[in-house]
Amino acid sequence: MHFSRIIYEILREEKIRLISTLPCNKLAHLIRGMPDEFIHIPLNREENGVGISAGFYLTGGKPLMMIQSSGLGNSLNALMSLHKGYSLPLPILASWRGRENDQFPCHIPFGKSLPELFKLLQVPYAVIERPDQIRNISQAIQNSFDHHTPHIILLSPEIWEADEDKVPGPVWGPREKSSRLTYERKYVPPELTRFEAIKALSDFFGDAIVLSTIGTTCDELHHVRDRDLNFYIYAAMGQASSVGLGMAINTTKKVFVLDGDGSLLMNPNILCEIAAVNPPNLTIVALDNGTFSTTGEQKIPSYDLVDLELMAKSFGIVNTQKAFTRKEIQESFQNLREGPNFLHVIIKPGITRGGSILDPHEVKARFMKAVLKGS
């Protein structure tokens, strides 16, 4: 019974193209044996896969995740805000840890509650406990895409015990790298509000995809230049750059992400995944006002501590710039290289415009129509 082969046959039949993974040891041989025909993104955190999958689907692709069931706890807000909020599909294969016989008792409090939790959240799920149920994965994937919903597929770890198709462990070569960095930046008082910075950026939108992080950034982008190729992320803080990465993988269009300092610091490891994938068409614009502006403009803990441009460099993004003025923003965009690019824009605190929230399903429908037109 070569279960791994059967699963990949199913994914092939269902036209899955992107698989993002954060492995459990029960799934390790399944992930190691992934055929090269699939786009594979190893994750540092499960919720990054949720955002990446959303972006990939919105540009016409079919994604799937493989994670340990405990990672569903990290992903719930993003799943509910993005995939339930915008009616996006996402099948998730999760090794089910935490049942009563789990050898690690710390998995049990969360794991045993999963079926009731999914019912409460109205998220469909399937349980694969025996080898003869593996083909049910196909129906779960179809349900996810037919009904535009996440669908969780809980895989009992016991089904792997009889698997004859286990892939040998990896043989790692020497870990060789060198790091050398000379970095000097002087901060000066910012010239622009976020609204004014977005207005300066809008001159370079062209036919690019533009997506914005939550709250007031969405509102101000809408007021500056509402367009069908804008995607407004109204919730799921910390996911804008993940969604942007998923889009950049699946389109030749330029992708501009208007992210925030609070959002990026909530989920900085996405920068590592961006550097690893190295999409040439992706630009992250970090609008840094030092506050959580949507929630009342509280000063963020790293207000005078963290340099986001240096952080991006430390995660492996090579092409970075910093801007304090309209002229510097314009020069930065005129000098964009093959990506990924990271532009750190220092702005004043304050909210200029607000209140323009479109229906998420309308945003999705018009965006997908625009981005898939002619593809």
Q: What is the pLDDT of residues 160-195, one digit of tens each?
A: 666 656 667 777 788 888 888 888 888 888 999 999
> Band of the pLDDT at 354, cuts 50, 70, 90?
low
In a domain? residue 209: yes
Which of 137, 160, 183 terminates a domain? The answer is 160
In a domain? residue 166: no
- Do 239 and 361 reside in the same domain of the chain? yes
Which residues have C-beta within 8 Å of that of residue 58, sequence separation ≥ 6?
A: 88, 231, 243, 246, 247, 364, 367, 368, 371
Instruction: Give the side-chain half-sphere CA count within 13 A for 98.
Output: 21
> Domain total for the chain?
2
- Do 57 and 131 reside in the same domain of the chain? yes
| Cα–Cα distance for residue pair 209/281, rounded to 1 Å | 10
**Residue 167: closest CA among 367, 338, 315, 30:** 30
Which of 112, 134, 160 terminates a domain? The answer is 160
- Do 320 and 227 reside in the same domain of the chain? yes
What are the angstrom distances between the C-alpha of 61 and each of 54, 75, 198? 9, 21, 29
What does the pLDDT look like over 1-31, one tens digit per residue? 478 899 999 999 999 999 999 988 888 888 9
**Residue 244: closest CA among 84, 66, 85, 48:** 48
Please state the pTM of the whole predicted model: 0.94
- Per the CB < 8 A criterion, the answer to whether 166 and 139 are in contact is no
Look at residue 166 in the predicted model and tell me its pLDDT: 65
In a domain? residue 171: no
The CA-based angle 45-46-48, given to 5 degrees, is 75
Higher pLDDT, 102 or 288: 288
- Do 136 and 206 reside in the same domain of the chain? no
- Do 215 and 146 reside in the same domain of the chain? no
What does the pLDDT look like over 222-247, one tens digit per residue? 999 999 999 999 988 899 999 999 99
Q: What share of the chain is helix, strand, coil (3-state, %, to 5)?
A: 40, 20, 40
In a domain? residue 105: yes
In a domain? residue 172: no
Q: Could you list the residue range(s) of the whole structural domain that residue 137 is in?
A: 3-160
Which of 135, 160, 185 terminates a domain? The answer is 160
**In this structure, what CATH number is given to the domain that contains residue 218?**
3.40.50.970
| Cα–Cα distance for residue pair 32/23, rounded to 1 Å | 10
Q: Span 207-217, mean pLDDT?
A: 93
Look at residue 203 in the predicted model and tell me its pLDDT: 93
DSSP β-bridge partners for residue 155: 95, 128
In a domain? residue 295: yes
Q: Span 206-220, mean pLDDT?
A: 93
- Do 266 and 199 reside in the same domain of the chain? yes
Look at residue 1 in the predicted model and tell me its pLDDT: 46
In a domain? residue 120: yes
| Cα–Cα distance for residue pair 373/141, rounded to 1 Å | 25
- Do 247 and 356 reside in the same domain of the chain? yes
- Do 23 and 123 reside in the same domain of the chain? yes
Q: Span 119-148, mean pLDDT?
A: 95
- Per the CB < 8 A criterion, the answer to whether 237 and 263 are in contact is yes
In a domain? residue 342: yes
- Do 198 and 156 reside in the same domain of the chain? no
Lowest pLDDT segment from 125-139, 246-260, 295-309: 295-309
| Cα–Cα distance for residue pair 196/220, rounded to 1 Å | 9
- Do 129 and 236 reside in the same domain of the chain? no
Residue 292 predicted with pLDDT over 80: no
Look at residue 133 in the predicted model and tell me its pLDDT: 93
- Do 139 and 277 reside in the same domain of the chain? no
- Do 155 and 30 reside in the same domain of the chain? yes
